[in-house]
Structure 1
């Protein structure tokens, strides 16, 4: 298997999703992918321990993609070696009544990672320029000034919202949060196969929702809005990575490797040095503990 270079997946200019493959490395064996993922998992877990001690940065991992693209299973597999205190996962669903009493970014601010920790957003603040564009009637639930009906939602409204998201990400990155955003690029045919599997295999029945088929009817719209959102919000401080996701195992390894490689750029993340006076008295402390026997 070829080595993973994050720059091959990072969005650095205008992209056309229809021209980006949804599958790579077809010849990689399952054992090879699993072995490589295991090794990166261990390194990420050790890194998070150092981050916790360093206590300067938080890491925000944003996962976006169509239904069945593999976000849930990736979270389970990539972060399973983490100390539970070091990672928190948030799955953002339809805003509840309390959340709707605030602006659309409020609930995302509340979920930002503490210093020394990872936070994973399974679906993210980008739902507010994706699902709401396919279903603009959802915006009416936000009770915004000047928005009384769908016709009041102009193209400028979406431009403003993209700018607000960019400002949100700029603000948090300037205050010690490292942001990485991943779009799980799955083909429509692969989604069809995965939905069929949910219907045909009893252990996966619970995953199926008729709503998945309804949203599938809007596939082309989603692709258009994903492409626009990525093009307008891919920045150096909060980059997007497009992950070929028809192969779930490969997608997990690519994401894990990108996180690891990008974190290596933060060379100041180190375990804090002990005070010289404390180190000078190590022998005394050991003697004190040994005398307790």
Structure 2
């Protein structure tokens, strides 16, 4: 049995991304090896989401971060395609608009946090406010650390309100990113994904890596851990995220609400009428 704890980072662990191999597949050779298990995991996710929606006891926030081309859109599409869309939301965080920029950096995030009973995935997130802003000198290192402290408190508050926060860093190599950029530029069906700015951002790879390492290290806790997901192999990325998500949801021990006495009484009446 694979120990997925090897990808988990909590309790203020110091992160060095160079310690994680983005090519890692834990000795699995192909997606065919885990096909049957993957299908079962999808069914388990559907069941857990149904219980989540019915019970309204918890909410689940899933945060996806990663360099450009790490597959944040793709993993959301692949992992969540079979669940009830009525209980699921996905948000993509772009540059703050004029109104959002006039508020504190967490304001727009809090409006998108799931209510109890719902599951929400963030494609990028509030962490961008300590990543791109820091790399491009829009905030100082001191301000970045103040924001990281606020983020940690924010996630602690969400946890206290039964909002489970699951955070995934999709880890790719610079070589893999370049390959994906080339594919986007050469394929007419993927050209719409190409952003010339991606090539400029590549120049800051080491700065982003450093910013990610500190952001993850300072906000990885027992209740709100980070998971470092090797993502050069898309099938393994999807499998790992799905498995972690299912196992974390099952830890919540979600249950369908019990009918009250009046419902039970009406059910007995209906049975008598049918007999």
TM norm. shorter chain > 0.5: yes
Deviation at 1:277? Answer: 4.1
In structure 2, the residue matched to 1:191 is 177
**Where do residues 209-224 of structure 1 align in structure 2 (5 Å cutoff)?**
209-224=195-210
**1:34-87: per-residue Cα shift (whole Å, max 9, x none)?**
443222111111111111111110000000000110110110110011101111
Mapped partners of 1:53, 1:15: distance in 2: 38
> Residue 163 of structure 2: which of 172, 177, 193 is its match?
177
Q: Cα gap change, 1:257/1:4 in structure 2, threshold over 3 Å: closer, same or farther?
A: farther
TM-score by length of 2: 0.94
Mapped partners of 1:33, 1:97: distance in 2: 46
- Does residue 94 (structure 1) correspond to residue 114 (structure 2)? The answer is no
- Does residue 257 (structure 1) correspond to residue 243 (structure 2)? The answer is yes
Mapped partners of 1:34, 1:96: distance in 2: 42
Which deviates more, 23-32 or 214-223? 23-32
In structure 1, the residue matched to 2:119 is 118
Deviation at 1:4? Answer: 3.9
Mapped partners of 2:35, 2:137: distance in 1: 41
Q: Cα gap change, 1:205/1:35 in structure 2, threshold over 3 Å: closer, same or farther?
A: farther
The answer (yes or no) to whether the contact 1:64–1:123 under 8 Å persists in 2 is yes
- Does residue 279 (structure 1) correspond to residue 260 (structure 2)? The answer is no
Mapped partners of 2:133, 2:36: distance in 1: 40
TM-score by length of 1: 0.88
**Where do residues 26-45 of structure 1 align in structure 2 (5 Å cutoff)?**
27-45=28-46
Question: Which structure: larger Rg?
Answer: 1
Q: Cα gap change, 1:129/1:67 in structure 2, threshold over 3 Å: closer, same or farther?
A: same
Deviation at 1:194? Answer: 0.9
**1:159-207: per-residue Cα shift (whole Å, max 9, x none)?**
2111011011111111110001000010111111111111122211111
- Does residue 62 (structure 1) correspond to residue 63 (structure 2)? The answer is yes
Q: Any unmatched runs of 5+ in structure 1?
A: 140-152
SS at match of 1:47: helix
**1:81-128: per-residue Cα shift (whole Å, max 9, x none)?**
110111100000000011112111000000000111101010011001
In structure 2, the residue matched to 1:46 is 47
In structure 2, the residue matched to 1:17 is 17
In structure 2, the residue matched to 1:147 is none
- Does residue 244 (structure 1) correspond to residue 242 (structure 2)? The answer is no
The answer (yes or no) to whether the contact 2:229–2:240 under 8 Å persists in 1 is yes
Deviation at 1:24? Answer: 1.9
SS at match of 1:202: coil
Deviation at 1:213? Answer: 0.4
- Does residue 8 (structure 1) correspond to residue 6 (structure 2)? The answer is yes
Mapped partners of 1:184, 1:231: distance in 2: 15
Mapped partners of 2:76, 2:36: distance in 1: 17
Which deviates more, 279-288 or 96-105? 279-288
